[in-house]
Chains A and B, each alone.
Chain A
Amino acid sequence: GAGVSQSPRYKVAKRGQDVALRCDPISGHVSLFWYQQALGQGPEFLTYFQNEAQLDKSGLPSDRFFAERPEGSVSTLKIQRTQQEDSAVYLCASRSTGQTLQETQYFGPGTRLLVL
């Protein structure tokens, strides 16, 4: 595909339910990022992969959040035992190389998660 895709676009979960959010980066992109964006706020960094290696997970808010990229392409962000404060848009971005910030990050449309 031409850009980063994410699925589902919308997800409604009951409190306590587990959810899995998928990101398909641009083909061949080495770096992949996950962000959380609350309403009216800017994206906040969650975690970063270079190929299949998770190099930075300092932004994950709790151990209920888990991300993986086992084959260095598609990534999944999993949230266990969802809470209402997890409601947000989850954005995925990819970048062509592992070089820090010399190149553009391309964002997907996001998954809007609502926890009831």
Chain B
Amino acid sequence: SQKIEQNSEALNIQEGKTATLTCNYTNYSPAYLQWYRQDPGRGPVFLLLIRENEKEKRKERLKVTFDTTLKQSLFHITASQPADSATYLCALSYSSASKIIFGSGTRLSIRP
């Protein structure tokens, strides 16, 4: 079955630096890869979606890359701010399926 690996340890970054989070998956590549943000006590919030034929997607300070050879996605937050502190979830989905498979998330902490 498909497995998704995200850094289980929290990532601590100095404000203003670029935070980079990693998502690795096994088996076959998904049609879509998504990143979500989750704050304590809240549901996940969608951030970005990237398709298997796309290498990179940007939205404001966010950038996502998708390397189907390495079976990896990288999620970057540039000019990080304390308000970016949250858990970030990677999720995979396939064109013929309706469900999303989530990773366990990486907790990001931006210190002032």
Instruction: Give me the interface of A with B, judged by CB distance under 8 Å.
Output: 4, 31, 33, 35, 40-45, 48, 50, 55-56, 58-59, 91, 93, 100-101, 104-110
Residue of B89, B93, B103 near A101 (CB, 8 A) is B93
* CA of A110 to CA of B38, assembled, Å: 12
Q: How far is the CB of A7 from chain B (nearest CB, A)?
A: 14
Instruction: Give me the interface of B with A, judged by CB distance under 8 Å.
Output: 4, 31-32, 34, 41-46, 49, 89, 91, 93, 95-105
Residues in chain B near residue A93, CB distance under 8 A:
43
The reply to whether B99 and A109 form a contact with Cβ atoms under 8 Å apart is: no
Known: A91-B43, A110-B43. A105 touches B100 (CB 8 A): yes
Residue of B49, B98, B104 near A40 (CB, 8 A) is B104
Residues in chain A near residue B97, CB distance under 8 A:
100
Residues in chain B near residue A107, CB distance under 8 A:
43-45
